[in-house]
Structure 1
Amino acid sequence: MRIRQATGADAPAIAAVHVRSWQAAYQGLVPQDYLDDLDPARRLPGWERLLAETAWPRKGVLVAETEGNVVGFAGLTPTRDDDEDPASVAEITTIYLTPETWGRGIGKDLMNAALGALTGAGYRQATLWVLDTNVRARRFYEAAGWHGDGAIKRDATRGFPLTEVRYRRLLM
């Protein structure tokens, strides 16, 4: 397994991992018709745009590979939250793995690489948002030293309501 900075050439693989992970991780948590309609081709332009905006070391995407194939990714950026200082607080915007790689330690390695990159970029804290009903993800974050900080946001932009809670941890 190898973790590296993503490039524009990784966009199709990232889009595919993103969709497959959503379809598995959010089954029973969001409407099934929404999950069934997810398509990597529709996600591709957004990933191409995001990867073109990479500004290491402060902003970018890491990918995890096994046998030369992208099996996971993590998106890093200065915080997008209005109540935080983007000079000192980073945000992990996404961290997803292919379902068949869950439980193999790749997520832990990817998280550690993301935290190392954020620390190296000079951030003092990191945050992330997680669906309040995503028990599996919340257990993963809590085992990695994250804790809920009390912030909540509600999002209905997909046509159904989602409630997310913010997690935080210090970087050293």
Structure 2
Amino acid sequence: MSQPSADVSVRVAWADDAPGIAGVQVRAWREAYADVLPAEALAGLDVEHVAAAWRDALAKPQDARNRVLVALERNRVVGFAVTGPAGDPDCDPVSDGEVGEFRVDPGEQRKGHGSRLVQACADTLAADRFSRAVAWLSSTDDALREFLTGAGWAPDGAHRELDLHGDGTVQVKQVRLHTALA
């Protein structure tokens, strides 16, 4: 007798998803930036404050092609991604879409949520008539790089330093990956 499959899905986020998205983001950032940001900065991330920002962003998207997707297990948010037009100067905002943020809750990884989420990103960007997708990731995030390259993404040679504090004190080196959406 086989086990019933879990109730898992990906859909466009609703304002009610803001607390779940914020919780995933805070937990994921605490893990991803543990070696980059001071411990007190990570401990100071407030889920309620982050949720309020998500609620506002979900209520008033900046562009009709900006989307927030949530990966769900039953009705619980276990991951999220943000898609929209690519903003890099060497990208064409008409044909190049971007996955601006891609997070799966650290306790929910390796359960297929990331695969469903990255496929939903590609499908969403293609439906929004983008022909190429790009994503920036930390140059030291080997797990995400391996995951995305396994899904058909590849480095395109672009790199940058992201200023996390806005004052030059914390720089994160990033590389850009891309994939065709045909």
- TM-score normalized by structure 2? 0.87
Matched-pair contact (CA < 8 Å) for 1:57–1:121? no
Larger radius of gyration: 2
Mapping of residues 131-150 of structure 1, within 5 Å: 131-150=138-157
How far did residue 48 of structure 1 move?
A: 2.0
Mapped to 1, the partners of 2:43 and 2:85 lie a distance apart of 32
Change (3 A) 1:96 1:157: closer
What is the DSSP-based 3-state SS (H/G/I as helix, E as strand, rest coil) of the residue aligned with 1:123? Answer: coil
What is the DSSP-based 3-state SS (H/G/I as helix, E as strand, rest coil) of the residue aligned with 2:65? Answer: coil
| CA deviation vs aligned residue, 1:33-84 (integer Å, no higher than 9, x gap) | 3322222123223312321234897221111111211111110110111211
Q: How many equivalent pairs are there?
A: 172
Mapped to 2, the partners of 1:90 and 1:149 lie a distance apart of 14
Mapped to 1, the partners of 2:61 and 2:158 lie a distance apart of 27
- TM-score normalized by structure 1? 0.92
Is 1:169–2:179 an aligned residue pair? yes
Higher deviation after alignment, 45-54 or 91-100: 45-54
Matched-pair contact (CA < 8 Å) for 1:3–1:62? yes
What is the DSSP-based 3-state SS (H/G/I as helix, E as strand, rest coil) of the residue aligned with 2:144? Answer: helix
Question: Structure 1: which 5+ runs fail to align?
Answer: none
| CA deviation vs aligned residue, 1:90-146 (integer Å, no higher than 9, x gap) | 000111111111011110111001101111111100001001111111111111111
Identity over aligned pairs, percent = 33
